[in-house]
Amino acid sequence: MAHVKLTLFSLDEANALARSLKPDLAHLVAMHAELGRIETAVAALSLAVAGADASNPDAIELAKLSERRDSIGRQIAAGVRAIHERGALVKDLERGLLDFYALSGDRLIFLCWQLDEPEISHWHTLEGGFSSRQPLNRTQRD
């Protein structure tokens, strides 16, 4: 598990970091989608080449895809680690979802941002997740 730096963010700080992380997160989302496609192909080819010779074209393709899968996995892990080191938490690479620790009064919360959103406009408790997101109210935005 990647180490997460516990940083408390103001809304402005979290929005600034979200903007700066957007290209990296978009790249991670794309790699995650590619990884899913490769996993599907690897599963199918694994069945097709069971007991086949290593010179079989499907076996050669399986080896190439397996190498690509491993490479993408390492790149994703490094990218997630880099985001965590900046204090944001990668919560979902399908949605492109990041959380940022923040305080609301004396309560620790997550500011929640999704890749397709122009700015952070939602929050949730530490125990809650995406499905428990709530819109930021005026006092939380100030």
Q: Where are the domains positioned within the chain?
A: 11-141
Q: What is the pLDDT of residue 25?
A: 98
The letter for the amino acid at 106 is D
Each residue of 84-141: pLDDT tens digit? Answer: 999 999 999 999 999 999 999 999 999 999 999 999 999 999 998 888 999 998 655 5
Other Cβ atoms less than 10 A from the Cβ of 7: the count is 15
Strand partners, 123: 111, 134
User: pTM of the predicted model, to two decimals?
Assistant: 0.87
State residue 141's pLDDT score.
Answer: 55
Q: What is the model's pLDDT at position 63?
A: 93
Report whether pLDDT(10) > 80: yes
Q: What percent of the chain has pLDDT over 70?
A: 93
